[in-house]
Amino acid sequence: MMYDDHYGLSGRPFQLTPDPDFWFDTATHRKAMAYLGYGLSQGEGFVVITGEPGTGKTTLMGHLLAEIDRERLNVLKLVSTQIAADDLLRMVCAGLDIDSVGMSKAEMLSAIERGLHTVARSGRRTLLIVDEAQALPIDSLEELRMLSNFQAGGYPLLQIFLMGQPEFRQTLSDQRLEQLRQRVIAMHHLAPIDTDEVEPYLIHRLSCVGWRGKPRFTNDAISSMHRWSGGVPRRLNQLASRVMLFGAIERIDTFSGHDVAAVIADLDSDTAPLRAVPTRAFEERFPEREAKPVAVDLPRATPEPAPSAATIPERLERRIGDAALNRRIGELEQQLQQQDAALRRVLTLLVDWVETGATPSRPDIASLHGTAA
């Protein structure tokens, strides 16, 4: 990317795709890892990790899997998308290399138990990780509980980690899941990162791709970034990536709060709802009358921003000098001027008609059709 070259980086430090190589040990993630480690040491039951979208659940699990000994643990991973109970069993079968085609539910359960025994005889335990668990129906969660009952010599054959968004806790409170709740041995909710963790977080990710001190962030820049992101790592990555793009365009090596504010304004404008532009045709021709809203099915030109509040794309356009873009803008402006003239003529004839009661002549109407076209 452009800012990689400008700052001498070997890769993208703030990509939105989860990557365990960028793992950063915040207080809340450290606590979550402690709960997961405790669960693995117990070797049974359920461990539940919840968090808002973007708080790092997938990165957390990737980091865990990078740390565990695959010679002692057989890991199955499922991503839930409203999986029905039977489909869930078929996915577990696939994870155990069992061909479930044509099998009934009873046959799949029997095959899964045999598969878990086979893994156990090889000296490994089986860990099932379900991501996006909030999408699982109650019946599917109950099926998972039944799978957790499989044992060999008094030892459980399967342990289950459930990762989900905050509403999953509400799902677990359902009275039909009382037996599953009794098997939950640890639960943690990933909180947003604190303000004082933002700068170490940014520096850590930059250091992973060869950062050598450029760029830097002032204290007010850090505070603005935390406030806008709410401490959610994915939103922080989104903002930091745009800040660095802005810095590469403007040749900035130390970001201030003012720089971050400019980027935030640009990000917010990306998703801001379009506002209607009121017509002033009546007020201009008849200033003494109260303007009435008129519904006219013609495109409106959006107001141009003030020159002092130029956004990042506008600055980039001035630097690059895209002739094709400028030519297209000129054509659109000309069309809008023609449409505005047609609109004013329509409104003038309507006013004359209302005041005099005279029906517009056919030549006038024909000329309107020609102008509007």
User: Hunting for tokens 């030519």 — which residue is that?
Assistant: 327
Residues 170 and 63 in one domain: yes
The predicted model scores a pTM of 0.70
Strands 73-79 and 155-156: unpaired
Q: In angstroms, what is the C-alpha Rg of the chain?
A: 31
Residues 149 and 248 grouped into a single domain: no
CB atoms inside a 10 Å sphere around CB 311: 17
Residue 6 lies in a domain: no
For residue 79, what are the β-bridge partners?
131
Same domain, 164 and 41: yes
- Within a domain: 7: no
Tell me if 110 is assigned to some domain: yes
CA distance 41 to 311: 53
Shared-domain flag, residues 186 and 223: no
What domain range is 103 assigned to? 27-190
CA–CA distance, 215 with 252 (Å, rounded to integer): 8
Are 180 and 79 part of one and the same domain?
yes
With respect to residue 54, please indicate whether it lies within any of the assigned structural domains.
yes
Whether 20 maps to a domain, the answer reads no
**CA–CA distances in Å: residue 314 to residues 109, 266, 304:** 61, 10, 11
d(CA 96, CA 74): 9
Last residue of a domain, one of 271, 303, 329: 271
Same domain, 166 and 298: no
- pLDDT tens, per residue, the chain with 373 residues: 566 678 889 889 999 888 888 999 999 999 999 999 999 999 999 999 999 999 999 999 999 998 888 888 999 999 877 889 999 999 999 999 999 999 999 999 999 999 999 999 999 999 999 999 999 999 999 999 999 999 988 889 999 999 999 999 999 999 999 999 999 999 999 999 999 999 999 999 999 999 988 899 999 999 999 999 999 999 999 999 999 999 999 999 999 999 999 999 999 887 666 554 444 443 444 444 444 444 434 344 444 444 444 555 555 555 555 555 566 666 666 776 776 666 666 666 665 655 565 555 555 545 544 444 4
Helix, strand, or coil (residue 187) = strand
**Are 5 and 245 in contact, with CB atoms under 8 Å apart?**
no
Q: Which of 244, 221, 326 is nearest to 6 (CA)?
A: 244
The alpha helices in the chain, defined as continuous H runs, are 2-7, 27-42, 57-67, 85-95, 105-121, 138-147, 167-172, 178-181, 198-207, 219-229, 233-250, 257-271, 281-285, 312-320, 323-356, 362-372
Domain of residue 225, CATH code: 1.10.8.60
The verdict on 51 and 131 lying in the same domain is yes
Q: Specify if 21 maps to a domain.
A: no
d(CA 63, CA 33): 9
Give, as one character, the DSSP assignment of residue 360: P
Length of the chain (residues): 373
Whether 35 and 51 map to the same domain: the answer is yes
Report if residue 2 sits inside a domain: no
Three-class secondary structure of residue 356 per DSSP: helix
- For residues 175 and 85, state if they share a domain: yes
CATH of residue 72: 3.40.50.300
Distance, in Å, from the CA atom of 124 to the CA atom of 127, rounded to the nearest integer, reads 10
Q: How many domains does the chain have?
A: 3
pLDDT digits (tens, 9 = 90+) for 263-306: 999 998 876 665 544 444 434 444 444 444 444 343 444 444 44
C-alpha triplet 202, 12, 242: angle, nearest 5°: 70
Domain boundary among 190, 220, 242: 190
Measure the CA dihedral 313/318/321/324, to 10°.
Answer: 50
User: What are the two backbone dihedrals, phi and then psi, of residue 360, each rounded to the nearest 5 degrees?
Assistant: -55, 140
Question: Do 83 and 225 belong to one domain?
Answer: no
Token duo for residue 370: 């020609």
Residue 31 shares a structural domain with residue 146: yes
Q: Which two tokens stand for residue 141?
A: 């969660």
The per-residue pLDDT for range 172-222, each reduced to its tens digit, is 999 999 999 999 999 999 999 999 999 999 999 999 999 988 899 999 999
Query: Could you tell me if 303 and 164 lie in one domain?
Result: no
Q: Classify residue 11: in a domain, yes or no.
A: no
Last residue of a domain, one of 167, 190, 213: 190
Half-sphere exposure in the Cβ direction for 372 (13 Å, CA) = 15
